[in-house]
Amino acid sequence: MRVSVKIALGSILVGGVVFGAKLAAAHVSHSTALFSDALEAMVNVASSLLALYALILGAKPADEVHNYGHAKAELLSAVATGAMILIAAMLIFQRALATVVHPPALEPLTGGLGLGLALNGAAGVLNGLWAMLLMRVGRAQKSAALVADGKHLLSDLITTIGILVALLLAAFLHMPVLDPLVALAIAVQIAWIGGHTVMDNLSGLMDRAPPPDMQERIQRAVREHAKGAIEAHDLRIREVGAAGFLEFHLVVPGEMSVNQSHNICDRIEAALRQEMPGVIITIHVEPPEKAKVAGAIVP
């Protein structure tokens, strides 16, 4: 079983425990803010299930229908996660707005509110630790689904801290209106996270190029290992989740044999795979009259 799949399974387990604790916290405290945190935790469980499905689907090899594999499944999962976060934000906003005018009295700190805050705090710590692990593994595995899940959990920890502080203040200052106001702030914050998650992964679905430093390393690898060729041009790179696709045109002398040009291509491909493991490379070998000069990568 792949590391990323094991982590996704762990996310479902951790998410279930956190959701249960936060739901219990909302129940014993009757707090709108804690209810909003529990609703967000429910989204976490759903997004973890989506991430697991996407990881399993994305690992399937290319077939007759999907010639380039299934790597975009993870990006679609991340977009769906962002959409669910936005829906949760709207539900939280609706409930908070309904109670902000006439907020109910808070439970005492020595009773339901105190127990609810303790349960929520413990769940938040678990979420934060798991979020850091998710993002570290997701970046190492180039998994958009795991990184998106980890970022959302990290934002959940920040939300939990804000709730704890605000409800403690509300209890000490006898200001129950802080409870729905905090819930409104949570709705705005997670709506921003959800929107950012959707837009970032939609960019990935449109075949986003890798970061500039990666592009520079790839160009340098081509330049250093294209000895014998005249130039390389029209280099294009796209990343689709953990998969990468790279293509360019390699101009060689007219008298060069097929075997010689093939050897140059082999050297370049070996160097490129050091920079982008698993990348699918297409090199178009061309005669001297196809040289462009402008914008070309010269050995």
User: What is the C-alpha to C-alpha distance for residues 73 and 67, in angstroms, rounded to an integer?
Assistant: 14
pLDDT category of residue 194 using cuts at 50, 70 and 90: confident
Share of the chain above pLDDT 90, in %: 26
Q: Mark whether 68 and 171 lie in a shared domain.
A: yes
Helices (H), 30-111: 32-58, 72-100
Structural domain count of the chain:
2
Give the strand pairing for 280-286 and 243-251.
Answer: parallel
Residue pLDDT, tens place only, 104-151? 777 887 788 889 999 999 999 998 899 888 888 888 877 766 777 787
User: What is the C-alpha to C-alpha distance for residues 294 and 177, in angstroms, rounded to an integer?
Assistant: 65
Q: What is the arithmetic mean of pLDDT over 252-263?
A: 93
Does some domain include residue 75? yes
pLDDT category of residue 244 using cuts at 50, 70 and 90: confident
Q: Which residues span the domain enclosing 220?
A: 212-290
User: What is the C-alpha to C-alpha distance for residues 68 and 61, in angstroms, rounded to an integer?
Assistant: 8
Q: Mark whether 201 and 216 lie in a shared domain.
A: no
Q: What is the arithmetic mean of pLDDT over 264-292?
A: 90
Q: Mark whether 238 and 119 lie in a shared domain.
A: no
244 compared with 271, residue with greater pLDDT? 271
CATH number at residue 44: 1.20.1510.10
Residue pLDDT, tens place only, 75-106? 787 788 888 888 888 888 887 887 777 787 77
- Residue 199 reports pLDDT greater than 60: yes
Among residues 158, 188, 205, which one ends one of the domains? 205
Strand order in the sheet with 243-251: 231-240, 243-251, 280-286
Q: Choose the weakest-confidence range: 69-73, 184-188, 217-221, 281-285.
A: 69-73
Q: Mark whether 70 and 160 lie in a shared domain.
A: yes
Residue pLDDT, tens place only, 64-73? 777 666 767 7
Say what the pTM is: 0.64
Q: Mark whether 34 and 86 lie in a shared domain.
A: yes
Which pLDDT score, from 0 to 100, does residue 201 have? Answer: 79
Q: Report how far apart, in Å, the C-alpha atoms of 10 and of each of 4, 5, 20, 161, 254 are.
A: 10, 9, 16, 23, 57
Its sign, for the CA torsion 143, 147, 153, 154, is positive
- Residue 63 reports pLDDT greater than 70: yes
Q: What is the arithmetic mean of pLDDT over 167-188?
A: 85
Share of the chain above pLDDT 70, in %: 95
- Residue 225 reports pLDDT greater than 80: yes
Q: Mark whether 91 and 216 lie in a shared domain.
A: no
Question: What is the overall mean pLDDT for the chain?
Answer: 84
Which pLDDT score, from 0 to 100, does residue 253 have? Answer: 94
Q: What is the arithmetic mean of pLDDT over 166-178?
A: 86
CATH number at residue 241: 3.30.70.1350
Q: Choose the weakest-confidence range: 72-76, 179-183, 212-216.
A: 72-76
- Residue 1 reports pLDDT greater than 60: no
Q: Mark whether 33 and 91 lie in a shared domain.
A: yes
Residues 6+ apart with CB under 8 A from 8: 48, 51, 52, 55, 145, 146
Does some domain include residue 13? yes
Among residues 148, 180, 205, which one ends one of the domains? 205
Among residues 188, 205, 222, which one ends one of the domains? 205
